[in-house]
Amino acid sequence: MGGGREHGNSEEYAAEVRQVEALNRLEGPTEGGAGDASDRVRHRGADLLVTGHALARTDSLGEALALIAQLADTTLPLCGQAVFRADRELLHCVGHFGFPGCEDSAFRVPLGSDYPGAQVAQTGRPVFLASPQEYGARFPATRHLADREGHKAWAFLPLTTYGQLTGVWMAAFDAPVDMTDSVRALLVTVARLLSQSIEQTYTGQADRALSQSLRSSMGRTGPGVDGLTTTARYLPTGGGLMVGGDWFDCIALPSGRLGVVIGDVQGHDMHAAGLMSQLRTAIHAYAAEGHGPDAVLVRASHFLAALDEDRFATCIYLEADPASGILRVARAGHPHPVLRLPDGTCVLKHLRGGLPLGLDLAEDNYPVNVLTLRENEILMLCTDGLIESGGHDMYSGWLRVRNALSPGGPDDLDGLADRLLSAVVAPQTPQTRDQPASVTEDDIALLLLRRDPSATHADPPGRHLHLTLEQDQAQALSDARIEFQGLLHDWARPEQIDTAVLLASELLGNVLVHTEHVAVLRAGLSGTPGRRRLRVEVTDRSDDVPHRRAPGELSSSGRGLVLLDLLAHQWNVRPEPEGKTVWFELDEDGPEEP
């Protein structure tokens, strides 16, 4: 039944407990019997609770009837069961237990006939027949149906699913049964548990059908567009068949551009999956209409808020231009993407963003981040299930992702995607390598976007980083330091990493503090490991050329050029058609710092 519920809510469970306690009070010791029979009666309530829990997890009517059959003993000589479904004219059997050789479809009686099950289907009241004599006296026209099986007592009880009487459960006994209040209460309770099991089975089957349909629409992405290749993976909660709220999509846009989206609707149930399907369709439509990334997310947020005020969704939507490699990205509360450079270096790309979709707080603001994807660079987008599963937090999960994404070249995009999933769901130690993959606590959606090499030109070899800092980005400088450190993760002289970060921070800070313009940082590594050169350029559109000053001991500024003189191996200022560029270089095998 795909993980059926055990009880609808605490009130239902409490009601069951009270009814079982009533059964135990009503059922006293059996006449002339002690020991086993008396103990069995006193434990009937506990058996019923166990059976109820098991019924809530069954996948079929046959399994449910087999579980109920286990309640049979000397005090309840249950030997056969049948479930009838009622339509407008007929009562027909849809399942049975204890009638070998019988076919379900073989038994059909008109609803207006003199048959106990037909009466129950019409009135909704149970019928209890303690002996063949009582059966013959009350239902003489259908007495021959009972004689064929040799049963000695019967109970016919209504089955209610989704608030309506939809069927009848027949319990047959191979010995006469004294239909006391406690026996009747017991059989009514079993019928109610069977009704819940049937309802849950139908719900589970519908959920699985919807889940399978959604999963089929979440197949791997197509080849992308010329110049851009994508691949994607989806892993449901627990590694099973059920779909939750995670999704991805690739959308062909005008002028050869590609739209890429990944998102996560709150929750892991079928309601989340249904909302995901609608939200995914809406975003696809908004993108195809030609709206920019920020407008797509604003519209999607209003759409989700109108659908369900209690659910929100995180999302990243981007437009990619294959000719230039420029990505225009908007983020709504979603985990930051990861940029994989051609040599395997991975950098967490910190993007400005807005609130998750659906909160509808009248503060829709999804700033557009502009990135440039160079040839053989890969942008990884994922939902938080890839990062935080297995007890990891965002930091340790990021390290796990980085370690799985770094090895190998950029050519095998499918291999990279498979390795990332294996890092989450596969054993990690030699002792557990042969064991089955572990299940996931959350859905996982993963999408990789690569800019393919061009036959007409090639980007210069090496490792490169491009950052743009707006004036209103309070957190941007700290995020830039983290990304810059990632670029130098394997620099041979660790003390120079701090030097490089300090100098880059000074140049960026000078632009943000002393001008009103955007700061653009370009950093690149060239050469072989151990003998590489780092070149950092910071460009702004201000025509004011920096001058070296002699800052006082308590001065809060004026040290930038002094630090460049002292720490950089080379530096200079280059005029641009609009503004200027300040650059510096550090050599991995250069002279020691003063």
- Residue where a domain stops, chosen among 426, 451, 476: 451
* Cα gap 373→229, rounded to integer Å: 12
68's CB contacts (< 8 A; 6+ apart) are 51, 55, 78, 81, 97, 190, 194
In terms of domains, do 517 and 433 share one?
no
pLDDT on residue 273: 77
* Cα gap 62→218, rounded to integer Å: 33
The answer to whether residues 250 and 259 touch, using CB atoms and an 8 Å cutoff, is yes
Write the CATH number for 401: 3.60.40.10
In terms of domains, do 274 and 399 share one?
yes
What is the C-alpha end-to-end distance of the chain, expressed in Å? 71
> β-pairing, 90-97 with 108-110?
antiparallel
Q: Is residue 525 part of a domain?
A: yes
DSSP 69-120: HTT-BTTB-EEEEEEEEE-SSEEEEEEEES-TT--GGG-EEETTSS-HHHHH
Tell me: the pLDDT tens digits for 190-246? 998 888 887 776 655 545 555 455 555 555 555 567 889 999 988 776 444 456 788
pLDDT on residue 366: 92
Ranges of the chain with pLDDT below 70: 1-46, 101-106, 162, 201-224, 237-243, 268-270, 309, 360-363, 426-441, 455-460, 473-474, 547-559, 592-594
In terms of domains, do 318 and 292 share one?
yes
pLDDT on residue 547: 62
Residue 493: give the domain boundaries. 463-587
Q: Is residue 1 part of a domain?
A: no
What tokens does 435 get? 């064991």
pLDDT on residue 340: 94
- What 3-state DSSP class applies to 49? helix
Please give the single-letter amino acid code of residue 327: L
In terms of domains, do 443 and 494 share one?
no
Element (H, E) at 12: helix 10-26
Q: Which residue has the tokens 């950052």?
A: 467
pLDDT on residue 31: 42
In terms of domains, do 440 and 476 share one?
no
- Residue where a domain stops, chosen among 424, 451, 478: 451
pLDDT on residue 107: 75
* Cα gap 380→47, rounded to integer Å: 53
* Cα gap 411→441, rounded to integer Å: 31
In terms of domains, do 344 and 301 share one?
yes
In terms of domains, do 246 and 334 share one?
yes
Mark residue 80 as left, alpha or beta (left: phi above 0; alpha: psi -120 to 50; beta: remaining): beta
Write the CATH number for 178: 3.30.450.40
Domain tally, the chain: 3
- What 3-state DSSP class applies to 397? helix
pLDDT on residue 23: 45
pLDDT on residue 11: 47
In terms of domains, do 408 and 520 share one?
no
Nearest Cα neighbor of 224 from 328, 331, 321 is: 321
Nearest Cα neighbor of 375 from 309, 460, 297 is: 460
In terms of domains, do 202 and 252 share one?
no
In terms of domains, do 515 and 429 share one?
no
